[in-house]
Amino acid sequence: MKKSTWIWIAVIAVVAILFFWVKNSYNSMVRMDENVQKAWSQVENVYQRRMDLIPNLVATVKGYASHESSTLEAVINARAKATQTMIDPTNLTEEQIAAFQSAQSELSAAVGRLLVSVEQYPDLKANQNFLELQAQIEGTENRITVERNKFNESAQQYNTMIRKFPDNIIASLFGFEKKGYFKSQEGAATAPKVSFE
């Protein structure tokens, strides 16, 4: 064979290798991005479950604890705010996740205050509907923790891939950007002060 034929074979081989490398890297990034979006959908799903339970909880408490109208109103307002905080799953930035988490934390705090105020109503604490709703909300809070952890894991895998060399070249060429994480709320590392005075 002529020397020019070998050169063309070498050029074609290099182009084919580059093509398959780019194709495989790109497809892996797409798959991981889809996994992050799927994990985010599960996070939203469990938060939605909690939001769906709250009106039943409020209605149950309202029947027994008419004196807690401001607490009930705070729960309703926090729920409304949480339902309005939506995030585009294709653009999960740290700031957007923090805003979502803040709205959800306000709702968690309002529900927590409501459940504490219920301690004053023995009839309500004995009501089977209330007990079932309380157990469902507690279970949902556990599901939220699990799904947030799964989301963070899939975001970490994706972020690692798009930052590794040489995949970072493909990521920048095709616009794959870093995903945000759920983080602890401010003050979460500080233990609450307990006093038995």
Backbone phi, then psi, for 190, in 5-degree steps?
Answer: -90, 125
Q: Return d(Cα 90, Cα 33) in angstroms, integer.
A: 8
The pLDDT value recorded for residue 116 is 81
193 domain residue, yes or no: no
> Whole-model pTM?
0.76
Q: Containing domain of residue 101, as a range?
A: 34-174
The total domain count for the chain is: 1
Q: Which two tokens stand for residue 158?
A: 């994706």
Distances (CA, A) of 33 to 64, 72, 92: 48, 39, 10
1 domain residue, yes or no: no
Which residues have C-beta within 8 Å of that of residue 96, sequence separation ≥ 6?
Answer: 87, 88, 180
42 domain residue, yes or no: yes
Distances (CA, A) of 65 to 134, 153, 184: 16, 42, 33
**What pLDDT, in 10s, does the model give residues 66-97?**
666 777 888 888 888 888 888 888 888 888 88
Asked if pLDDT for residue 189 goes beyond 80, the answer is: no
CATH no. for residue 112? 1.20.1440.20
**What pLDDT, in 10s, does the model give residues 176-186?**
999 988 887 66
- Do the Cβ atoms of 174 and 162 come closer than 8 Å? no
pLDDT bin (cut points 50, 70, 90) of residue 158 is: very high
Q: Give the rounded percent of residues in the chain with a pLDDT score beyond 90.
A: 36
Listed in sequence order, the DSSP H helices in the chain are 3-64, 69-84, 94-117, 122-126, 128-163, 167-174
